[in-house]
Amino acid sequence: MLEKNWSGTYVYGASRIHTPRTVDEVRDIVASGDRVRALGTRHSFSSLADSPGSLVDLRRIEPVPELDRDAMTVTVSAGVRYGELAAFLQGNGCALHNLGSLPHICVAGACATATHGSGDRNRCLAASVAGIEIVTGGGELVSASRVDSEFAGMVVALGALGIVTRVTLDIEPTYDVRQDSYVDLEWPALDEHLDAVMGSAYSVSMFTDWRERIDRVWLKTRLDGEPFEPPVDVFGARPQPPEQWATLISDDPNLTPRGGSPGPWSERLPHFRLDSTPSNGDEIQSEYFVDRRHAVEAIRAVREVGADLEPVLMIGELRTVAADTMWLSPAYGRDSLALHFTWRNDPREVTRAVAALEAALAPFDARPHWGKVFAIQGGSLARLYDRLDDFRALAERLDPSGQFRNAYVDRLVFGAG
Ligand SMILES: Cc1cc2nc3c(=O)[nH]c(=O)nc-3n(C[C@H](O)[C@H](O)[C@H](O)COP(=O)(O)OP(=O)(O)OC[C@H]3O[C@@H](n4cnc5c(N)ncnc54)[C@H](O)[C@@H]3O)c2cc1C
């Protein structure tokens, strides 16, 4: 088949990709009993989405968004991309609580891996899922919502429970955001003021190559109609002069507007514009979540192995994610610092760098991002997730014949091999 993921770094082994137009067609595909898994917009960096049988891509199913202004929810087909949903919501005076760095990913694919943005009080995107419809083993269509006791295991599910066809998300009234960029935050200032820096806006991202200092601090400030003056400096980091907006992560035109101009949440919370290429493209990514209580030490530990990362590192990013209760969420039960690494597309060097990184972060029980590249194996992962046994039991109930299993899920969730 030779279909690849977004970055071209993984070739799917599945024999074919179905592109159904209706949920009934999805049910028929699953009812055949063959091994099958859902494929999102292919932005994960590993074999996670792959299937030893076939894949199902929902992009041809119409989104059909339904707003419920009393419940303040929107219900939409699961294959819709966040950017498209955001435009619909904004057009109707509504908003989501947060977005990831790219609006190109689909809702079900992003939620399946606990994709997140940043913000001390912002949980990952899956936390706003209030209900789902999912085609489970044998083709049964199951609905579940927050009132169900196992719902906390059903949204961040790595595609292992079935094919999510429709999702209901919490919404809120629309709001404006502005982005301000600062340069050169020195390590000692970060050590001393990390909480204050991360708390200085609704969503804060810091970029660094882990050498001299934090190169950029991006503050995404939620305006909510209040007058706002951006800080003169962020603990010594000074406003980035407009002529230096050429960035560390992408060509400038690919990015959402910075420089303080207010705009809708949908056009400021993501780093990248929907109509452009997110990030570099020829790259691999890794990311680890540590408890906020260990954030300063974890950052120090990564700096100490900076020389091991340097040959293959393009850029690092630090964000915060609020704790949630979803069984497989890397922020389960812990307010977290997320340490992200964009690598050059050099798998051998990435393997070396990831080994050094994981050794440095091991004392902090770092949980890897499910959709990115990591080396931690099933046994160690099991120790990091208290509810993994519950998730396995749920998977065995909803998928008794293992239709939605693949090598990744067998190894990392079921600890096989
Ligand atoms: C440039 C770039 C920037 C990124 N930025 C961020 C970021 O800011 N924050 C972050 O946390 N991550 C980020 N990621 C990672 C990305 O958000 C995750 O890997 C996400 O899961 C990708 O979603 P997708 O739609 O491409 O799904 P895929 O990668 O195609 O699939 C991911 C998983 O979702 C499952 N899945 C997909 N659709 C369904 C469905 N309908 N039902 C059930 N399961 C389904 C698949 O089976 C698979 O297990 C980034 C990735 C890239 C390439």
Q: What is the 3-state secondary structure (H, E, C) of 15-70?
A: CCEECCCCHHHHHHHHHCCCCEEEECCCCCCCHHHCCCCEEEECCCCCCCCEEECC
Is the per-residue pLDDT at 227 higher than 90? no
Confidence label for 258 from pLDDT (cuts 50, 70 and 90):
confident
* Residue 164 Cβ < 6 Å to ligand 1: yes
Q: Output the pLDDT for position 1.
A: 57
The one-letter amino acid code at 36 reads V
Give 346's contacts (C-beta < 8 A, 6+ positions apart). 312
In terms of DSSP bridges, do strands 283-291 and 263-264 run parallel, antiparallel, or are they unpaired?
A: unpaired
Q: Compute how many other C-beta atoms are within 10 angstroms of the C-beta atom of residue 259.
A: 12
Task: Report how far ligand 1's centroid is from the alpha carbon of 115 (Å).
Answer: 7
Is the per-residue pLDDT at 400 higher than 60? yes
* Residue 278 Cβ < 6 Å to ligand 1: yes
Is the per-residue pLDDT at 248 higher than 70? no
* Residue 30 Cβ < 6 Å to ligand 1: no
Q: Output the pLDDT for position 30.
A: 98
Q: Output the pLDDT for position 276.
A: 81
Partnered with residue 164 across adjacent β-strands are 134
List pLDDT tens digits, range 269-324.
Answer: 999 998 887 767 789 999 999 999 999 999 999 999 999 999 999 999 999 999 99
**CA-nearest residue, atom 36 of ligand 1:** 109
Q: Output the pLDDT for position 254.
A: 84
Q: Output the pLDDT for position 146.
A: 97
Dist CA 55 CA 30 (whole Å): 10
List pLDDT tens digits, range 163-222.
Answer: 999 999 999 999 999 999 999 999 999 999 999 999 999 999 999 999 999 999 999 999
Please give the domain boundaries of the chain with CATH numbers for all domains: 177-265+277-368 (3.30.70.2520)
Confidence label for 73 from pLDDT (cuts 50, 70 and 90):
very high
Q: Report how far apart, in Å, the C-alpha atoms of 39 and of each of 159, 277, 279, 383, 388 are.
A: 8, 20, 21, 28, 23
Give 140's contacts (C-beta < 8 A, 6+ positions apart). 27
**CA-nearest residue, atom 10 of ligand 1:** 115
Task: Report how far ligand 1's centroid is from the alpha carbon of 361 (Å).
Answer: 23
Q: Give the residue, out of 115, 134, 220, with the most ligand 1 atoms within 8 A of its beta carbon, to mutate for a pocket test.
A: 115
Q: Give the residue, out of 18, 23, 84, 105, with the most ligand 1 atoms within 8 A of its beta carbon, to mutate for a pocket test.
A: 105
Residue pair 213/187 in contact by the 8 Å Cβ criterion:
yes
Dist CA 82 CA 104 (whole Å): 6
